[in-house]
Chains A and B, each alone.
Chain A
C-alpha cells in the first residue's frame, strides 16, 4: 500500500524557520496537502495543492514540492504553531486511495 514518510519530530526556537518534509513515490504527479492538529482538536488545513494557502492561514505557512518530496515551511515559527503536522496525498492508481503521512510533532521552544 502507498505510504507517505515524515520525520517524527522537528524542533525549532521561536522565530526560526521550521521545515517538515513528506516523501512519497507519487508526489511528482499528485498534490500534497498539509494539516495542522493541535492537542485535543480536529485537524486544520494549512496548505493545499502543494503550495496554496487557505484563507485565514498566516503567511508564515508555505509549501513546496519537488520530485518525490513535499515540504511545509513555517517561516518565523511561533509558540502557537506547536502541533502535529500531517501531509496527505493519493497514489497514482486513480482509485481514490488517499493516505496521511505518519505525522510530525513540531516543538517550538
Chain B
C-alpha cells in the first residue's frame, strides 16, 4: 500500500526550532515529488514548496521562501519540513503529499504544530 506517514503533533515555544517528517512507503520514494501544504486553523490550504527526493531539487512558494527548509533523506524514504525559529503564526496543520501523474493523490495524515508561550 502506498502511504505517507507523518510525525506526531508538536507543541513548541516561540523561538524554538522544529523538524517534522513525512515517511513514504510502498513505492519508489526517489521517483516522485513530495509537496508540503499548510492549513492554519479555520483557513484554507497553502502550498509551501516541493522536493524531488531523487536529487533533492527543491522549490519554494515565494510566501515561504526563507521561512522554512524542505529536505529529504532518500536512504530512509523521509521528507522533512523544518523551522529554525518558530513564531506563533506558524501554528497550523501541515500536510505532505505525493505529486504524481494525476496531482496530489496521496496525502499524509497531517502534523499539527502549536506554537505558544
Total count of chain B residues near the partner, CB < 8 A = 21
Name the contact of A54 in the complex, choosing from B46, B59, B95, B105 (C-beta under 8 A): B105
Name the contact of A42 in the complex, choosing from B35, B62, B102, B110 (C-beta under 8 A): B110
Tell me the bound Cα distance from A54 to B104 in angstroms: 11
7 nearest interchain CB pairs? A96-B59, A103-B44, A42-B107, A48-B102, A100-B45, A33-B103, A48-B103
A49-B102 in contact given A42-B108, A43-B95, A98-B61 (Cβ < 8 Å): yes
Total count of chain A residues near the partner, CB < 8 A = 24
Chain A residues near B (Cβ < 8 Å): 1, 33, 35, 37, 42-45, 48-49, 52, 54, 84, 86, 88, 95-103
**Distance to closest chain A CB from B36 (angstroms):** 11
